[in-house]
């Protein structure tokens, strides 16, 4: 069974190399964790992320600080909905196939 991180690695990072400070996988994990934690906007996700311990930040993939709201917004816009749909559909199909034998 693939982990969420393994599935996210399939996302193509189309940002220019110059200026990339944070891995796209880390940004997506941050947004997802922030939403799960109950934050309803990118602004609140950033505030929440800055309150995390250094260990938690590193587990999300951030060693040099948390990205700003503009970075999160730009990355999500550049990736687009279609890229997410493709990755999450694949993840759900893979997970379902792995879980199904447990119930038969």
Q: pLDDT tens-digit profile of 25-49?
A: 888 889 888 988 999 999 999 999 9
- Under a CB-based contact definition with an 8 Å cutoff, are residues 22 and 61 in contact? yes
DSSP of 49-73: HHTS-HHHHHHHT-SS-PPPHHHHH
Q: Where in the chain are the domains?
A: 4-103
- Packed helices 69-99 and 24-36: angle between N→C axes, nearest 10 degrees: 80
Q: What is the pTM of this model?
A: 0.76
Compute the average pLDDT of residues 59-77. 91
Q: Tell me the two tokens of residue 28.
A: 């997506």
Identify which of 2-11, 28-37, 89-98 has the greatest average pLDDT. 28-37
């Amino acid at each position: 069974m693939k982990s969420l991180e393994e599935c996210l690695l399939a996302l193509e990072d189309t940002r220019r190399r110059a200026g990339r400070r944070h891995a796209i996988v880390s940004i997506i994990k941050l947004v997802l964790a922030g939403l799960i934690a109950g934050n309803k906007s990118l602004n609140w996700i950033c505030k929440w992320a800055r309150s995390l311990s250094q260990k938690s930040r590193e587990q999300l993939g951030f060693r040099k600080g948390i990205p700003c709201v503009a970075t999160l917004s730009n990355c999500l816009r550049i990736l687009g909905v279609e890229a997410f749909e493709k990755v999450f559909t694949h993840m759900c199909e893979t997970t379902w196939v792995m879980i199904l034998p447990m119930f038969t």
